[in-house]
Amino acid sequence: MTPLREALHRLREHRPPERAHPELVDAGVAFTTVGGPLERRWRQAVTTLADCLRVVDGEQVLLEGGGYDGTWLESTATAATDVLDRFAPSVVRATHLLLARHARADGLLPYKVTAQGPAFTQIQMVTPLARGVWHHYLRTGDRDYLATMHAAAAAHDAWLARHRDTRGTGGVEAFCTFDTGHDLSPRFWGVPDRCLHGDAARYDDDVASLPFVAPDLTANVACQRRYLALSAAELGEDPEPWSRAAEASTEALLAQCFDPDAVAFYDRTADGTLLRLDSDVLLRVLACEIGDAALAEAALGRHLLNRRRFLAAAGLTSVAMDDPRFDGDHTRNSWAGPVNMLTMLRAPAAFDHHGHVAELLAVERPLLGAMAGHDRFPQCLDPASGAPGFADAYAPAVLWLLDAVERTCGVLERPDGETWLTAVPPTRLDGGHAAAASGYARTVRGVRHELVADDTVAEVHRQGQPWLTFPRGWRVVLDGDGEPSAVVGVAPRAVTGRLRGAGVDVELTVEPNQRVVLATGERVDVGLVAQRS
């Protein structure tokens, strides 16, 4: 039996991992490898996910895990639920509504909700909540949910406008370290951890540099307002005020925080100077869908894909490695240097939006290889080796692994109706972790898809029957009707091969990041940004 046939046989004999969420099981999600430890780690991730759930008011919600109590706005209810929506959508709905239910009368959303109740000592918002809400609505069509979450996000936006633009710049200000979740980062040296006296509307005016006009907070609000415009229109409201507000926030971000010479975003302190620390703030801004193709390409080339700066042995660091303030200690909760799994969970939003999917998979590959050999799911990793450090059972790490498997060698259902079939199987992982072949299954709109791949070719079986074949290094995009509509190059090189099946038989050479529309032959190409040493 060839590895490809064995992968298909193992996929069809698959049994769900212990304590797998019922919605994951109902979706027919399954993963297997022929050789290597990645299947074991995937099953461990599915099981560990159950430890990150808690029943609140009769419904399961997601917890941050990793020793962090409760559900957090900056991560659990945004970056983490954006991935969880493909595996347990009812948990996503309940997690979002938990935050809305605990909003203060003045509109402020809690930065976290624990068993002791909501907390409001800082704002701690990084990934746009309104985007995740919109995506969940696209998947479910739940208008009551959309109306509730739109109202909560709009009230929170109004609170920010009243209290977090004290200098009238149009940006959003940081009052303390925890506003951005950047514990121990030199970005906030000399700045209190929390807002003054635990009041998110006040900062310590004895700290001369406060308040900062913060690029990540401002980008977050700009992005949220764009999605609030979409939800407003869907609910029969006028979207134009939200669109204008989003544009104003973007203009303020560029005017206050962007340095075009450095191709970077920095905090502007109270005296008007820029706090020049190159950190994951850049990735956060890109992940909020800010900037054009030229900005994205320059940011990747100069910073994120530069091994002297952010591209570590496994993952992206939280502070540039060539900054003298960089501290790679991964044994503690630190944003002073180590690779943070929350950064990696946010990264796809930046790379996907700007079309740099091949670069993303190249960044993820060594991290996936490192995590295949881990025995736990940490928050922080050693930049030099990918070794696990601080924390365990951390939900963003669990969900990163589930996402990385699905986007590299699986069947990924998108909120826009597309389905991605990707053939970059784990046959080239380092550390003795390579498999001979892999298999992934998922039921999409009632149709069972099985994707098996080895180091050369991928096969897709639909409803148990052979359906498609295509080469390693391609992603085949299915449209809303489940038919092949495009091919995307996801390898860092041109890949020539043939797409056969589903009424298609075509030979193509597909460049990295190039999207070939099958119906017309049109090619959309953003080019490849090379890694730098």
What pLDDT was estimated at residue 18?
87
* Residues 441, 411 contacting (CB under 8 angstroms): yes
How far apart are the C-alpha atoms of 369 and 37, rounded to whole Å? 9
Cβ atoms < 10 Å from Cβ of 507:
9
In this prediction, the residues of the chain whose per-residue pLDDT falls under 70 are none
Q: Which residues contact 500 (CB under 8 A, 6 or more apart)?
A: 468, 469, 470
Longest Cα–Cα distance in the chain: 72
What pLDDT was estimated at residue 394?
98
Tokens coding 157? 């936006």
CA distances from 461 to 232, 247, 278, 421 (A): 40, 45, 46, 11
What pLDDT was estimated at residue 263?
98
Work out the burial of residue 271: count CB atoms within 10 Å of its CB; fewer than 13 is exposed, 13-18 middle, 19 or more buried.
exposed
39-42 contact pairs (CB < 8 A, 24+): 39/435, 41/371, 41/372, 41/374, 41/401, 42/401, 42/402, 42/405
What pLDDT was estimated at residue 362?
98
What pLDDT was estimated at residue 1?
87
pTM for this prediction: 0.97
* Residues 303, 264 contacting (CB under 8 angstroms): yes
Cβ atoms < 10 Å from Cβ of 190:
10
Tokens coding 467? 């359906």
Q: What is the mean pLDDT of the chain?
A: 97
